[in-house]
Amino acid sequence: MDARPGKLTWTNGINYALFQAGWFVCVLGAASGHPWLASAVGLCLVLAHLFLVRDFLREGALLLFSLITGLCIDSFHIWTGVLSFPHGSFHPALPPLWILVLWMQFAMTLHYSLGWLAGRYLIGALLGGVSGALAYWGGVRFGAAYFNDHLVACLFQIGLSWALVLPIFLKAAEKTSVPSSPHRYHFH
């Protein structure tokens, strides 16, 4: 089975489904006032991914890097007043667990369903800027988070942060990749 980045495989399909399910679980769970349950279910999806990957230590390092990056970036958005979260925060200055789980879930896609972006930093920046802003806007529209009164400025700041961070994530994915091993799930 050819597992080149970008080739449609069953692994990429499962990976994309895990990510999408995680996004909806976390966002809709938080929006409905159940951020802790959403976080727990989202973490179960992350653990399922780690159970299925061939090198869970390298993949885990990528997910941990994403978690720390997400903590810093969303804390910045909170600090600047662009973003606030009504449910699930340990402290008002920190993002809630459910959105940090989403950062890890996004990193789950870098070797798999978004593997086609490997080495394509400009496309990654453009995709990150647009899709990052739209994903947050979707969360706001569902009621899981709030923007301040200046929608365009909020979308711009979040889009810019994702335009900068996605190429960094792509580089981190390269560093955590095993060159001789295709990125496919295996079933124990």
- Per-residue pLDDT of 52-69, as tens digits, reads 998 889 999 999 999 999
How large a percentage of the chain has pLDDT more than 70?
A: 90
Confidence grade of residue 7 (pLDDT, cut at 50, 70, 90):
low
To the nearest whole number, what is the mean pLDDT of the chain?
A: 91
Q: State residue 49 phi and psi, 5-degree precision.
A: -60, -50
- Which residue type, as a one-letter code, is found at position 42? G
pLDDT in tens, 114-170: 999 999 999 999 999 999 999 999 999 999 999 988 999 999 999 999 999 999 999
Burial 49-82 (b: 16+ CB within 10 A, else e): beebbeeeebbbebbebbbebbeebbeebbeeeb
Q: Which two tokens stand for residue 121?
A: 């930093």
Q: Are 184 and 3 in contact (CB under 8 A)?
A: yes
Reply yes or no on whether the pLDDT at 185 is more than 80: no
The pTM (predicted TM-score) of the whole model is 0.91
